[in-house]
Amino acid sequence: MELLCPAGNLPALKTAVDNGADAVYIGFKDDTNARHFAGLNFTDKKLQQGVDYIKANNKSLHVAINTFAHPGQQQRWFKAIDKCAEIGADAVIVADIAALDYASKRYPELDLHLSVQASATNAPAITFYQENFNVSRVVLPRVLSIHQVKQLARATDIELEVFAFGSLCIMAEGRCYLSSYVTGESPNTVGACSPAKFVRWQQTPSGLESRLSDVLIDKYQQYEKTGYPTLCKGRFHVEESLYHALEEPTSLNTLSLLPELFNANIAAVKIEGRQRSPAYVEQITRVWRQAIDQYQLSPEHYQVKPAWGQALDKVSEGSTTTLGAYHKAWQ
Amino acid sequence: MKVSLGPVLYFWPKQTLTDFYQQAVSSDADIIYLGETVCSKRRELKSKDWLTLAKQLADNSNKQIILSTMALLEAPSEVRVLKDLCQNDQFMVEANDLGAVQILAEHGVPFVCGPAINCYNANVIQFLLSKGMTRWVMPVELSGDWLRTLLQDCQQLGIRDQFEVEVFAWGHMPLAYSARCFTARSENKAKDDCELCCINYPQGRVMRSQENQALFVLNGIQTQSGLRYNLLNEVPQLATLADIVRVSPENMASVSVPTQFKQQLNNYQAYVLDNKECNGYWHQIAGLAQHAYS
């Protein structure tokens, strides 16, 4: 099982490799990837250094080109694919059919992984991408229960990659417009959800307010821990009740599911967080490396160690973790 | 320009659905989409009932009847239902997931590419045409400018005349799909034990900010816009870009909305949006915004 870690910059990439990642995924410094944040991602110069470091350590590099090409600008997405081929990326993570079609025809040898943004949640959808673009791996959306993941693993012969840890998208990825509804910008169109430039924090007599555009996402009392104002994680009213109507600010953590993921023959576990710091990448990579190694050494004695949980909690959103949709009760 | 009635996105009792479609038959809509697109547990009408209803509508009108299918397909049982619908051999199907496109292409039948499929540019259109697409419904977050540029690309590729364009133009827009059921959650129920509570909310449940702003409508696993999208003012522009505009039903009265769109075609009159309506997406601004006409 491959441990696939995020890197938003060169230090994070090196940290991931040094702490036991089998593969690292990155994005270019433009809107062809779904973490198009200011100060993040790889320029050509840093890219070459990253590639060199990966190759020197005999690891794999995956490049995310997982937004949807704008009309009249498809060439930018195609050029990003060209660049992946030029630098010798081990895999490209793609969402748009236009980019998949281009890559599969132009670079038949290039490994294509279907991005989570393509939202393939069932066997015929996977077959669609397999037959038409020869994708070798599918990254599963975080909407499936562990039972459904196992069913898919049995129904298909393709490599499956699942999200193991990190911020939790609770909507089928690539099919969520909550962000553009409020800001005009969505992951699909600009490569960012709830972009930082629309975020506003304001101290008021009744508490600390977080806003996205002008919309009040949450209001915190002094004793409460604040969270980034993503639309799906605010507190809202449904009739008289005030609660996290969609989801609490929690992180996904599937350490306890590792044996089941192994049994389902999952090819890779993915850590979310290209926007996070090298310190985050270090903590998470180290813990997951230990967990995978421990399982492989002695599957029957695998147990989640309390120290792992403590290390992960320190860097988790909201300081709590959940199994998300993998666990039916969450749904 | 034609007008369609989109599939009913809410969970209505069988009698309400039957009544609605009885009225829809005599509406000004040219096309009627029907079927369950949100949740497989909503079975007031089962697949065969939808097919029966489709046949009745086809027999009693000259409207085009299309079967809409689910957007988020997870369980093998849901895929089986999808296959049955795709192989009905009488009605065209609206695919809302690429799984449906795969099945329809294998079956060799033409299809409508629904708004829940990520088709953002002309290259994707071209690819889907090769699979049998004959009509494309634009994703709701895209604008008039986006559509214009995309269609220019299609013109250059020589494929513009091979498909119809449909634009979601009226109603609460589907914005997201989740594994979680937010209606069940709003009643403190788990999805597995939801008691089909969506049936108690024929127009979904409104989710408001702490400042009382109607932000979203919770409709089972679907999250909709809190405001009603309304492109009545954009009809002249739409008429030059789109072949069909879609009205998404909210209640019985929605059957009269196609008439309003047709009137705009013949006798255009500026419409003043109320504070429960929006048109931002079309103007490439936040979806919930209202365009300031100068």
Q: Give per-residue pLDDT as tens, A120-149.
A: 999 999 999 999 999 999 999 988 999 999
Q: Check residue A178 and give its pLDDT.
A: 97
Q: Enumerate the H helices of chain A as residue ranges.
A: 10-18, 44-56, 74-87, 97-106, 123-133, 146-155, 178-183, 187-190, 258-263, 278-297, 306-315
Residue numbers of B between 188 and 207 with CB closer than 8 Å to A: 190-192, 205-207
Section A223-241 average pLDDT: 93
3-state SS, residue A172: coil
Who among B127, B178, B212 is closest to A101 (CB)? B127
Residues B45, B13: Cα–Cα separation, whole Å: 9
Express each pLDDT in B164-222 by its tens digit. 999 999 999 999 999 999 999 999 999 999 999 999 999 999 999 999 999 999 999 99
Who among A151, A216, A324 is closest to B210 (CB)? A216
Encode burial over B276-293: b for 16+ CB neighbours within 10 A, e otherwise.
Answer: ebbbbbbbbbbbbbbbee
Q: Check residue A317 and give its pLDDT.
A: 66
Asked if A240 is an interface residue toward chain B (Cβ–Cβ < 8 A), one would say: no
pTM of the model: 0.96
With beta carbons under 8 A apart, name residues in chain B contacting A114: none
Q: Is the pLDDT of residue A318 over 70?
A: no
Across the interface, whether the CB atoms of B182 and A245 are under 8 A apart is answered yes
Across the interface, whether the CB atoms of B102 and A127 are under 8 A apart is answered yes
Residues B153, A70: Cα–Cα separation, whole Å: 11
CB of B174 within 8 A of CB of B154? no
Looking at the complex, report in whole angstroms how far the Cα of residue A171 sits from the nearest Cα belonging to chain B: 4
With beta carbons under 8 A apart, name residues in chain A contacting B177: 143, 171-172, 175-176
Average pLDDT, chain B: 97
Asked if A213 is an interface residue toward chain B (Cβ–Cβ < 8 A), one would say: yes
If pLDDT is split at 50, 70 and 90, which confidence band does A37 have?
confident
Looking at the complex, report in whole angstroms how far the Cα of residue B90 sits from the nearest Cα belonging to chain A: 22
Across the interface, whether the CB atoms of A181 and B128 are under 8 A apart is answered no
ipTM of the assembly? 0.97
B205 - beta bridge partners? B218
Residue of chain B whose alpha carbon sits nearest to that of A216: B209
Q: What are phi and psi of B5, to 5 degrees?
A: -105, 115
Residue of chain B whose alpha carbon sits nearest to that of A148: B75
Asked if A95 is an interface residue toward chain B (Cβ–Cβ < 8 A), one would say: yes
With beta carbons under 8 A apart, name residues in chain B contacting A70: 120-121, 146, 149
Across the interface, whether the CB atoms of A71 and B116 are under 8 A apart is answered no
Asked if A121 is an interface residue toward chain B (Cβ–Cβ < 8 A), one would say: yes
Listed residue (A176, A196, A183, A67) closest to B280, CA to CA: A183
Residues A180, A106: Cα–Cα separation, whole Å: 33
Q: What are phi and psi of B211, to 5 degrees?
A: -110, 20
Across the interface, whether the CB atoms of A97 and B128 are under 8 A apart is answered yes
Asked if A246 is an interface residue toward chain B (Cβ–Cβ < 8 A), one would say: yes
Q: Check residue A39 and give its pLDDT.
A: 86
Tokens of B77: 């049982």
Contacts across the A-B interface (CB distance below 8 Å): 224
